[in-house]
Amino acid sequence: MSDFYQEALNLFPYSQAIRRDLHMHPELGFQEVRTSGIIARELREIGLEVTTGIAKTGVIAMIDGAKPGPIIMLRFDIDALPVSEQTGAAYASQNPGLMHACGHDGHVAIGLTVARLLNAHRDEIPGTIKLLFQPAEEGMNGAEVVIRDGALENPAPIRCLGLHIWNEQPVGWLGVAAGPVMASAGVFHLTLTGKGGHGAMPHQTIDPVVAAAQIITAAQTISSRNTDPQKACVVSFCVLHGGEAFNVIPQTVEMKGTIRAFEPEVEQMAFKRLAEICQGIGEAMGCQVEIKIDNLTPAVINDSFGAAAVKRAAENLFPGHNLDERGRFTMGAEDFAFYQKKIPGTFFFVGSTNVEKGFVYGHHHPKFDFDDSALPTGAALMAQAAIELLKS
């Protein structure tokens, strides 16, 4: 097999140009019209059969290997975020209020580079590779819509791979593991209704603000007292609305937040405890309690077969590699989990910070940017992992 890393390095000017162009023109989920057009154009340019309009702006292309074998899918997400860019980069966003602040511009560039790498080696590919460019990963669960639109059918892949460039780790770091690697995301919405009144006469009111304070404090015991200390659970209150005037006790307080966990049983426990705490404390304080808790995205749980293929690819490409196999890389969530509910899938991470070059901000930060040298690393690893997976 060819040296995909050397070939990806040769393609670096191409990968970087694509990434920077997309970075200048970010588009939100299901609105990635320009992005999707570029993806389709680039894939057709190398002679691939392309299907557009999957979940509005998704694109699928097929690479048929010369040798018989199974079908696998490689997935790349393509959307940007409603963030106002503050990087000051020459290639900064030209769309006010929108930014590629998660690095999905890099994922598109990696995906198009992978298409070129694999297409040039069709004769060595034992099977078929389906490339999926997915819209609306950011909080919109585009994966679910893409699946509903038939992305996993005609032809049906038996396994899938996905990746994320990762600004929690330096360039050169690679992360892959079997089992959980990203958490599930739950969302809760709580309304406390008391009895408003004068701030100077609290005895005539039922104060939902004080009840809210007690609930927020008590909910911290879900992770510290109810969760097995060797497992992880996050309960964060992120929205707190109540009152308008400094001297008026409001009638209602509204709260929203998120629950993260790796194991479904931990998530279910946290949902149950949060409901009990809200109901119990709210009522004890005299309030009416309305609480709604839902799972938004399941945890990303890798299959061991795919993780082993990515590991072999990393060992082949980057001898003496810095491969992190600890798993449970982040409490962040990813809609890649929806594919894993249908077929075995593996999601891996490619380190992309560089302190010397000033790429130090985290994902979704207005100054987020990453070291472009992660592009050839990510593309080579994805292409090689696909071959390893097909061969096994």
Residues that bind Ni ion (CB under 5 A): 102
Residue 155 to residues 123, 254, 331, 337: CA-CA distances in angstroms?
20, 47, 33, 20
Q: 140 or 343, CB closer to Ni ion?
A: 140
Give least dist CB 335 to Ni ion, A: 10
Q: 191 or 302, CB closer to Ni ion?
A: 302
- Asked whether the beta carbons of 130 and 72 are under 8 A apart, the reply is yes
Give least dist CB 176 to Ni ion, A: 17
Q: 98 or 102, CB closer to Ni ion?
A: 102
Q: 168 or 290, CB closer to Ni ion?
A: 168
Give least dist CB 387 to Ni ion, A: 25
User: Which residue minimizes CB distance to Ni ion?
Assistant: 102
Q: 102 or 289, CB closer to Ni ion?
A: 102
Strands (E), the chain: 49-54, 58-64, 67-77, 126-134, 159-170, 173-175, 179-182, 184-193, 197-198, 233-242, 248-249, 252-261, 288-297, 300-302, 322-324, 345-353
Q: 102 or 233, CB closer to Ni ion?
A: 102
Kindly report each contact of residues 323-327 with a partner whose C-beta sits within 8 Å and lies 24 or more positions away, as own/partner. 323/174, 323/175, 323/176, 324/169, 324/173, 324/174, 324/175, 324/176, 324/177, 325/175, 325/176, 325/177, 326/175, 326/177, 327/177, 327/178, 327/179, 327/180, 327/181, 327/302
List for the chain the helix, strand, coil content (%; round to 5): 35, 30, 35
Tokens of 320: 């003496």
Q: 142 or 242, CB closer to Ni ion?
A: 142
Rounded to an integer, what distance in angstroms lies between the CA atom of residue 309 and that of residue 210? 54
* Beta strands at 345-353 and 173-175: parallel, antiparallel or unpaired: antiparallel
Q: 102 or 380, CB closer to Ni ion?
A: 102
Q: 7 or 85, CB closer to Ni ion?
A: 85
Q: 102 or 222, CB closer to Ni ion?
A: 102
Q: Cβ contacts of residue 107 below 8 Å, gap of 6+?
A: 76, 77, 78, 163, 164, 165
Strands (E), 270-318: 288-297, 300-302
Rounded to an integer, what distance in angstroms lies between the CA atom of residue 268 and that of residue 91? 44
- Asked whether the beta carbons of 47 and 119 are under 8 A apart, the reply is yes
Give least dist CB 314 to Ni ion, A: 21
Give least dist CB 319 to Ni ion, A: 29
Give least dist CB 101 to Ni ion, A: 9
- Asked whether the beta carbons of 334 and 72 are under 8 A apart, the reply is no
Give least dist CB 100 to Ni ion, A: 10
Give least dist CB 79 to Ni ion, A: 9
Give least dist CB 80 to Ni ion, A: 10
* Eight-state DSSP code of residue 206: B
Give least dist CB 334 to Ni ion, A: 7
Dihedral class, residue 260 (left if φ above 0, else alpha if ψ from -120 to 50, else beta): beta
Mapping DSSP to helix (H, G, I), strand (E, B) and coil, where does residue 326 land?
coil
